[in-house]
Structure 1
Amino acid sequence: MIRYALIFVLFFTQACAQKTQYGKLNRLGDFPSKLNEVSGVAIGDETIWVIQDSGNQDKIYKINQKGNVTKSLKIDHAKNEDWEDLAMDKAGNLYIGDFGNNNNDRKNLTIYRVSSSQLKKKEPNAEKIEFRYPEQTEFPPKKDSLLFDTEGFFHWEGHLYIFTKNRTRPYTGETLIYRVPDVEGEYDAELLGSIVLCQSQNHCSVTGADISADGKTIALLGYGLIFLVKDFELPNFDSASIQIIDFNSETQTESIGFLDEKTLLIADERNKGTGGGSLYSFSLN
């Protein structure tokens, strides 16, 4: 098992024990058939972008609030090995997280940065932010240390905050929190700590992340669950609290973003068994 020296490890056992709240998704519309595997969403001023994960094209898609595609752009100098999430900064620059790592054996983890000026072109050029997790020394690690898959991140004040997806056996529920600078280069990701959201492998692994515009609330997505992280001051999470919301869904929910301070957008992948392939809103009131 991985050991961390001089790094605080945060286990939110109180959050896991607290009473779960309940809510309901509001279905806004269905994605077209070419968007079966929406894996990430980023929301700007009157702009919503989505991506798809491995096996799909090196494209980003602009959609409306009904899930309809209004524009698609092929990203130059970017390969979709496993695009898993999108983030956007306040200047309108877009970040594509090519860090899907189901088998925990990748050594080419990348975040593509597409500037706001490039987004106006027919085939935008991407810069590469390449990184590694210094705590990972085996590819793949042992089953009890499969902590280096990633599906969620967000941008805040010059950094990209990364939340890993737990695939340990037996399942521990632990999510590692890292950050890297938001500029082109090669980096050792900085480990900030870890959290345990809950103990169900079917629901508690992070599949998406975003932060509110005021920086006061982080929304993490699992399968059927939203985790609202509050009472923190980045990059420190030692005083954070977590609110758990069950929205009673069995679909493969993969993407989350703040539409405004009180509204989240959520997307799920289309699956023959459970359905999905839709865009939803969720009210935090």
Structure 2
Amino acid sequence: MIYKTFLFIALVASCESGDQATETVAEQIFEINTIAGLDPSITESSGIIAIDGSLYTHSDMRGKAELLEIDLDGSIKNTQEFQNIEIRDWEDITADDNSLYIGDIGNNLGNKTDLKVFKISKDAINTSNPDVETITFSFADQTDFDNTELNQTSYDVEALVSRGNDLFVLTKDWLNLNSNIYRLNKQPGTYALEPLATLNIGGLVTGATSSPEGDIIICGYSPTLSPFVARIKFNEGVPILDRKVDLGSLIGNGSQIEGITYFDIIDGAATYYLTSEKFTRNFAGNEIVLPANLYELKWNE
């Protein structure tokens, strides 16, 4: 059941290389639907991926590596635990034609030097003990690992995406609201990553996917939980922030969008699915609860 539908003409941001000054560009049409609340047990959906027409999500819970197949009504169709993968902070998932990449990359203290991506065969998606290869990385430009305060780092990570022969990692910069983007080898090994670019996002990047054209589409939210999506293009191999769309007036401020995946071309538009986490806070003696939801976004450009 579709709870609410918004069809709107959005003025979007165009960001250029260099100082990446923002300017208003032509109007574009977007359509976004809040199509379901997620199953009550899925309170912390951190990533989402479409594989062969099915949707899968996961939480960032420590220990268990569980992949949940979900229906468009938000219910759980199947649960698969990878028993031979131990997770610290699973923040995103991506895939190419042959492999799944599980991003154990969360770093909200900014003190990890061994962020990991677990690589398994897509054919092993329904097996308990798949063959696992490990890609380990750190950031060559990071020099301070002594932070002890939560969410006070420029090197948190929640976004991982496959594009062509490479993986790309985008930081969640709590201090500057920018995002550094890095290229990561898909082969097992240990890597020190150099930044390709610093993107003036103006928010916290929480997920990424590839578009049909080979661009990177990211999602996230502002410090006041105003959600957004944005598009990153490549100019001679250099990533450039090309568009940013504020979704706050459409699905509501307070939506903690955490994951995004490309699904298919539907009715001529590139169609994506997004998930949000359940958000609970006490304010002035009152408990505020925002549900975990599943959204459909059509980007017709």
Q: Which TM class, normalised by the smaller chain length?
A: 0.7 to 0.9
Q: Does 1:147 align with 2:146?
A: no
Q: Does 1:164 align with 2:171?
A: yes
What is the Cα deviation at residue 33 of structure 1?
2.2
For residue 178 of structure 1, give the secondary structure of its aligned residue in structure 2. Answer: strand
Query: Against the structure 1 CA distance between its residues 139 and 270, is the aligned structure 2 distance closer, same or farther, given a 3 Å change threshold?
Result: same
Query: Against the structure 1 CA distance between its residues 79 and 228, is the aligned structure 2 distance closer, same or farther, given a 3 Å change threshold?
Result: same
Q: Please give the alpha-carbon distance, in whole angstroms, between the structure 1 residues aligned to 2:232 and 2:138.
A: 28
For residue 294 of structure 2, give the secondary structure of its aligned residue in structure 1. Answer: strand
Query: Against the structure 1 CA distance between its residues 30 and 123, is the aligned structure 2 distance closer, same or farther, given a 3 Å change threshold?
Result: farther
What is the Cα deviation at residue 18 of structure 1?
6.3
For residue 153 of structure 1, give the secondary structure of its aligned residue in structure 2. Answer: strand
Tell me the residue number matched to 1:67.
Answer: 74
Runs (4+) of structure 1 exceeding 6 A deviation are 17-22
Matches within 5 A, 1:212-251: 212-215=211-214, 217-223=215-221, 224-233=226-235, 235-238=237-240, 240-248=241-249, 249=252, 250-251=254-255
Structure 2 residue corresponding to 1:90, chosen from 91, 97, 110: 97
Where do 5+ consecutive residues of structure 2 fail to align? 1-16, 281-287
Query: Against the structure 1 CA distance between its residues 235 and 73, is the aligned structure 2 distance closer, same or farther, given a 3 Å change threshold?
Result: farther
Query: Against the structure 1 CA distance between its residues 116 and 142, is the aligned structure 2 distance closer, same or farther, given a 3 Å change threshold?
Result: closer
CA deviation string 1:23-53 (max 9, x = no partner): 6641222222221100001112212221101
Tell me the residue number matched to 1:3.
Answer: none
The TM-score, its normalising length taken from structure 1, stands at 0.83
What is the Cα deviation at residue 60 of structure 1?
1.1
For residue 145 of structure 2, give the secondary structure of its aligned residue in structure 1. Answer: coil
Figure out how many residues of one structure are paired with residues of the other and give that number: 264
What is the Cα deviation at residue 10 of structure 1?
4.9
Q: What one-letter code is carried by the residue in structure 1 that aligns with 2:275?
A: A
Q: Please give the alpha-carbon distance, in whole angstroms, between the structure 2 residues aligned to 1:127 and 1:86.
A: 15
8 Å CA contact 2:64, 2:83 repeated in 1: no
Tell me the residue number matched to 1:201.
Answer: none
Q: Which has the higher contact order (CA 8 A, sep 6+)?
A: 1
Q: Please give the alpha-carbon distance, in whole angstroms, between the structure 2 residues aligned to 1:114 and 1:234.
A: 31
8 Å CA contact 1:87, 1:155 repeated in 2: yes
Tell me the residue number matched to 1:6.
Answer: none
Structure 2 residue corresponding to 1:270, chosen from 241, 262, 278: 278
Query: Greater strand percent: which structure?
Result: 2
Query: Against the structure 1 CA distance between its residues 24 and 274, is the aligned structure 2 distance closer, same or farther, given a 3 Å change threshold?
Result: farther
8 Å CA contact 2:82, 2:127 repeated in 1: no
8 Å CA contact 1:208, 1:255 repeated in 2: yes
Where do 5+ consecutive residues of structure 1 fail to align? 1-8, 199-203
Tell me the residue number matched to 1:208.
Answer: 207
8 Å CA contact 2:92, 2:103 repeated in 1: yes
The TM-score, its normalising length taken from structure 2, stands at 0.79
Alpha-carbon RMSD: 2.6
